[in-house]
């Protein structure tokens, strides 16, 4: 199944997507039903299906409790990333967090920060956690996965290099778009052979297969849950293939007006546009 959050006239709904039609759920938000996606509690109302073109899509989890990302998880990307991160940090899984305010919707505007011109893209598979898990062995890790989505791990490279944790460069507002849907594992199938591609203005910049990951999705979940609990609605960015802007000579930084697309086989297409960060300050 494909599950999504959407708005109509500013009201948030969730539902199932099939043949371009959205069948709304009784509940208002997908995060409220993540643990029950495989139960009768998520029965959809087939009598009031809505054309997807008539709704505004939101990210599958509106405000994730955790947004976690693994770095250098494709060998070719690790090779191109010498200027981004120290090579001696590649001995184990390298993790960072993106802030909950980084969560962004399909079609949402990605802000080019006022404080940097080094804005970069990273096409990634996103894992959405559906059940609580701690000390989850790799062989059981998929039991806590609700589904998958496309994601773009937007990065501010100079701010990333300036922080050993990468937190500042990875956590800017709007810099974690994901979607368009949560696609359940049974519909996605075997991840290993699925193609992942990233485009900027229709130019193919990144291409690989999900089987090129150094640490697989189950291995990532096992590693994370050794330290802390994963909960329904947590989001994991699983790494990116080679071809990021920083890997080019000279670097190909994003600019206002650029159109980004992430295309993952059996998962979907995520599209976003870069805009200058708005001038209005928000003070509460």
pLDDT at 41: 59
Residues listed for the chain: 284
CA angle 76, 81, 84 (to 5 degrees): 160
pLDDT at 40: 53
How close are the terminal C-alpha atoms of the chain, in Å? Answer: 38
Can you tell me the distance from the alpha carbon of 86 to that of 106, in angstroms, rounded to the nearest whole number? 32
Residue 45 has pLDDT above 70, yes or no: no
**For the range 78-84, what are the long-range contacts, defined as Cβ-Cβ under 8 Å and sequence gap of 24 or more?**
78/214, 79/242, 80/242, 80/243, 80/244, 80/246, 80/247, 81/244, 81/246, 81/247, 83/161, 83/246, 84/157, 84/160, 84/161, 84/246
pLDDT at 86: 52
Displacement of CA 112 from its chain's centroid (Å): 18
Can you tell me the distance from the alpha carbon of 13 to that of 214, in angstroms, rounded to the nearest whole number? 37
Average pLDDT in the 46-62 region? 90
Tell me what the pLDDT averaged over the chain comes to: 92
Any bridge partners for residue 112, and if so which? Answer: 276
Model confidence at 152, pLDDT cuts 50, 70, 90, reads: very high
Domain range list for the chain = 2-58, 67-276
Tokens of 12: 């948030």
pLDDT at 52: 92
40 CB-contact burial (10 Å; exposed 0-12 / middle 13-18 / buried 19+): exposed
Instruction: Summarize pLDDT for 218-249 with one digit per residue, the tens.
Output: 999 999 999 999 999 999 999 999 999 999 99
pLDDT at 43: 63
pLDDT at 56: 96
Average pLDDT in the 120-135 region? 98
Residue found under tokens 């050794």 = 226
Share above pLDDT 90 across residues of the chain, in percent, rounded to a whole number: 78
**Kind and range of the H or E element at 160?**
helix 157-161
Residue 253 has pLDDT above 80, yes or no: yes
**Kind and range of the H or E element at 98?**
strand 94-98
Share above pLDDT 70 across residues of the chain, in percent, rounded to a whole number: 90
Model confidence at 25, pLDDT cuts 50, 70, 90, reads: confident
pTM here is 0.94
Average pLDDT in the 69-85 region? 76
Strands (E) in 36-152, as ranges, are 50-51, 56-58, 67-71, 94-98, 103-104, 109-112, 119-120, 123-129, 145-152
Residue 85 has pLDDT above 70, yes or no: no
Give the least confident one: 17-26, 38-47, 105-114. Answer: 38-47
Residue 51 has pLDDT above 60, yes or no: yes
Residue found under tokens 């996606």 = 37
Residue 64 has pLDDT above 90, yes or no: yes
pLDDT at 105: 98
Tokens of 120: 């970069």
**Kind and range of the H or E element at 159?**
helix 157-161
CATH topology of domain 67-276: Fumarylacetoacetate hydrolase; domain 2 (3.90.850)
């Amino acid at each position: 199944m494909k599950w999504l959050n959407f708005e109509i006239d500013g009201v948030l709904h969730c539902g199932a997507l099939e043949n371009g039609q959205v069948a709304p759920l009784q509940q208002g938000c997908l995060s409220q039903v993540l643990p029950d996606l495989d139960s009768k509690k998520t029965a959809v109302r087939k009598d009031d299906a809505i054309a997807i073109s008539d709704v505004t899509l939101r990210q599958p989890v509106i405000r994730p409790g955790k947004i976690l990302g693994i770095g250098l998880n494709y060998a070719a990307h690790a090779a191109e990333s010498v200027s981004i991160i120290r090579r001696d940090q590649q001995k184990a899984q390298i993790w960072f967090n993106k802030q909950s305010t980084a969560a962004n919707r399909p079609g949402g505007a990605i802000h080019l920060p006022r404080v940097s011109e080094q804005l970069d893209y990273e096409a990634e598979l996103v894992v959405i956690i559906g059940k609580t898990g701690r000390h989850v062995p790799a062989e059981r890790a998929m039991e806590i996965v609700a589904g998958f989505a496309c994601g773009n791990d937007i990065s501010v490279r100079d701010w990333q290099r300036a922080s050993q944790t990468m937190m500042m460069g990875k956590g800017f507002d709007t810099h974690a778009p994901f979607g368009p849907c949560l696609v359940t594992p049974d519909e996605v199938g075997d991840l290993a052979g699925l193609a992942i591609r990233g485009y900027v203005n229709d130019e193919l910049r990144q291409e690989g297969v999900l089987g090129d990951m150094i640490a697989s999705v189950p291995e990532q979940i096992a590693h994370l849950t050794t330290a802390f609990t994963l909960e329904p609605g947590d989001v994991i960015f699983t790494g990116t293939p080679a071809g990021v802007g920083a890997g080019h000579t000279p670097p190909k930084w994003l600019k206002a007006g650029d159109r980004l697309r992430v295309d993952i086989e059996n998962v979907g297409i995520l599209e976003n546009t870069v805009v200058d960060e708005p001038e209005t300050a928000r003070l509460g």
